[in-house]
Each structure stands twice: as C-alpha cells, then as structure tokens.
Structure 1
Amino acid sequence: MPIVDITLIEGRSDEAKARLLQKVADAIHEAIDAPKEAIRIIIREVPPQHFSVGGVAKTKK
C-alpha cells in the first residue's frame, strides 16, 4: 500500500487540495499499477511562519 505524505504551506483552497489528491493518486496508479483503493495520501499544512527557504520564513518576502 503506497503512502504519500505531502507538506504544504497553508492557504490553498479545498478544491485545489482535492485536485492534488486526485492527480497524485492517478500518478501512483499509473506508475506502479497500485489499486487506487490501496493508495493513501496525507496532506499536512503548516503556517508560513513555520516554513523557511534558505533560513527565511515564507512570511518574509
């Protein structure tokens, strides 16, 4: 059973996350022929002040 863990900065719409879930499941199914009912996907959302790139929080520009 494939398990995928995705971490995103919070703020995306439920519709965008639903599209992401569907496309990731489709990609896994196509790549390794896993049955869709066996694919598990977890979305973890973090506030921008808890996510940094190069040591700079995403709340800073």
Structure 2
Amino acid sequence: MSSDLNAADGEQLAERVAQPGREWVTPEERLLLRFYRQLGHADQAFMRRAIEAIVLKKSPL
C-alpha cells in the first residue's frame, strides 16, 4: 500500500458524503497536486488565494 494513499486517508471526513466521480489527471496535473499536498497549511492557503485571484481576473464580469 502506498504511503501517499495513507497520508491522504488521514484527512478524510469521518462521515459518509457524496463523492464526485473519478477524473483522470495528466502527469503535469499529478505533479502539481503532489507539490500542493507537500506544502504546509499556510502555503496551501496562499496558493488557493493566488489561484482564485487569477481565475477572477481572467473571468468576465
């Protein structure tokens, strides 16, 4: 069993919730996800805010 899988399981909600269907990710997306998961909570929050700002800037109002 992979240690990546075990680490991800540790943060799952205890309750059963509806999950979206699985989506395949590209190798590039997998690298980005791995990078993001290795960041601390503060750095993850910073990245989320930065990405949200980019998306809002590019979306038409």
State the TM-score, normalized to the length of structure 1.
0.39
User: Higher helix proportion, which one?
Assistant: 2
Structure with more contact order per residue of length (Cα contacts < 8 Å, sep ≥ 6) = 1
**TM-score scaled by length of structure 2:** 0.39
